[in-house]
Copies of this chain bind each other. A is one copy, B any other.
Amino acid sequence: MLSERLRNESFKERIVSAEQAAMLIEDGMTLGFSGFTPAGDAKAVPVALVERVKKEGNPFKINLFTGASISSKVDTLLSDAGIVNMRLPYQSDKGMRKNLNAGKVQYMDQHLSHTAEFLRSGALPPVDVAIIEAVAITEEGHLVLSTAVGNTPIFAHMAHTIIVELNLAQPLALEGLHDLYMPAPHGDREPIPLKHPGDRIGATTLAVDPDKIKAIVVTNQADVNAAMAPADEETATMANHLINFLRQEVEAGRLGPNLAPLQSGVGSVANAVFYGFLDTDFTDLEVYSEVLQDAVFELMDAGKIKMASGCSLTISPAKHEEVLENLDKYRDRLVLRPQELSNNPEIARRLGLIAINTAIEVDIYGNVNSTHIMGTQMMNGIGGSGDFARNARLTFFCTKSTAKDDKISSIVPMVSHCDHTEHDVDVIVTEQGLADLRGLSPRERALKIIENCAHPVYKPQLLAYYEEALQRGGHTPHVIEKALSWHAKFVKEGTMKA
**Contact A349–B346 (Cβ < 8 Å):** yes
**A124-B439, A190-B195, A350-B189 given; A377·B474 CB < 8 A:** yes
Q: Name the CB-closest residue of B to A258.
A: B187
Q: List the one stretch of A100-108, A139-147, A161-169, A304-312 in contact with chain B.
A: A100-108
Q: Does A483 interact with chain B (Cβ within 8 Å)?
A: yes
A123 to chain B, nearest CB (A): 4
**Contact B475–A101 (Cβ < 8 Å):** yes
Cα separation A223 to B429 with both chains bound (whole Å): 45
Cross-interface CB contact of A390 among B386, B422, B488, cutoff 8 Å: B386
**A121-B352, A474-B378, A476-B417 given; A439·B187 CB < 8 A:** no
Cα separation A460 to B390 with both chains bound (whole Å): 37
**Contact B426–A419 (Cβ < 8 Å):** no
Q: Does A473 interact with chain B (Cβ within 8 Å)?
A: yes
Q: Name the CB-closest residue of B to A186.
A: B352
Q: Does A487 interact with chain B (Cβ within 8 Å)?
A: yes
A21 to chain B, nearest CB (A): 27
Q: Does A58 interact with chain B (Cβ within 8 Å)?
A: no
**Contact A252–B345 (Cβ < 8 Å):** no
**Contact A473–B421 (Cβ < 8 Å):** no
Q: Name the CB-closest residue of B to A367.
A: B418
Cross-interface CB contact of A110 among B393, B394, B423, B474, cutoff 8 Å: B423
Contacts of A439 in B (CB 8 A): 86, 108, 118, 123-125
Cross-interface CB contact of A106 among B125, B438, B440, cutoff 8 Å: B440
Q: Name the CB-closest residue of B to A393.
A: B121
Contacts of A220 in B (CB 8 A): none
A325 to chain B, nearest CB (A): 35
Cα separation A441 to B475 with both chains bound (whole Å): 33
Cα separation A190 to B351 with both chains bound (whole Å): 9
Cα separation A193 to B195 with both chains bound (whole Å): 13
**Contact A86–B375 (Cβ < 8 Å):** no
**Contact B475–A480 (Cβ < 8 Å):** no
Cα separation A191 to B190 with both chains bound (whole Å): 9
The main secondary structure of chain A at its interface with chain B is loop
Contacts of A418 in B (CB 8 A): 367, 418, 421
Q: Name the CB-closest residue of B to A394.
A: B121
**Contact B123–A438 (Cβ < 8 Å):** yes
- For chain A, the count of residues having a C-beta within 8 Å of the partner chain is 88
**Contact B117–A393 (Cβ < 8 Å):** yes
Q: Does A7 interact with chain B (Cβ within 8 Å)?
A: no
**A110-B423, A440-B106, A474-B378 given; A195·B189 CB < 8 A:** yes
**Contact A480–B491 (Cβ < 8 Å):** yes
Q: Name the CB-closest residue of B to A373.
A: B474
Q: Which of A468-498 contact B (CB under 8 A)?
A: 469-470, 472-478, 480-481, 483-485, 487-488, 491-492
Q: Which of A177-209 contact B (CB under 8 A)?
A: 183, 186-187, 189-195
**Contact B114–A260 (Cβ < 8 Å):** no
Contacts of A191 in B (CB 8 A): 191-195, 346, 350
Q: Does A234 interact with chain B (Cβ within 8 Å)?
A: no
Cα separation A367 to B418 with both chains bound (whole Å): 9
Cα separation A23 to B367 with both chains bound (whole Å): 40
**Contact B372–A475 (Cβ < 8 Å):** yes
Cα separation A69 to B438 with both chains bound (whole Å): 21
Cα separation A14 to B346 with both chains bound (whole Å): 42
Contacts of A349 in B (CB 8 A): 117, 345-346
Contacts of A107 in B (CB 8 A): 441, 475
Q: Does A324 interact with chain B (Cβ within 8 Å)?
A: no
Q: Does A253 interact with chain B (Cβ within 8 Å)?
A: yes
Cα separation A386 to B386 with both chains bound (whole Å): 12
Q: Name the CB-closest residue of B to A194.
A: B191
Cα separation A421 to B375 with both chains bound (whole Å): 13
Q: Does A111 interact with chain B (Cβ within 8 Å)?
A: yes
A sample of 16 more A-B contacts (CB under 8 A), given A345-B349, A346-B350, is: A101-B474, A103-B475, A110-B423, A121-B254, A123-B438, A124-B439, A191-B191, A191-B193, A345-B345, A375-B483, A377-B475, A386-B421, A416-B480, A480-B484, A481-B488, A481-B492
Q: Nearest 10 pairs between A and B by C-beta?
A: A186-B352, A376-B474, A191-B191, A378-B475, A418-B418, A106-B441, A481-B488, A346-B346, A122-B254, A123-B438
**Could you list 14 A-B pairs, sorted by A, with CB under 8 Å?**
A109-B475, A117-B393, A121-B254, A124-B439, A186-B260, A189-B351, A345-B345, A345-B346, A345-B390, A346-B346, A378-B474, A390-B390, A416-B480, A481-B484
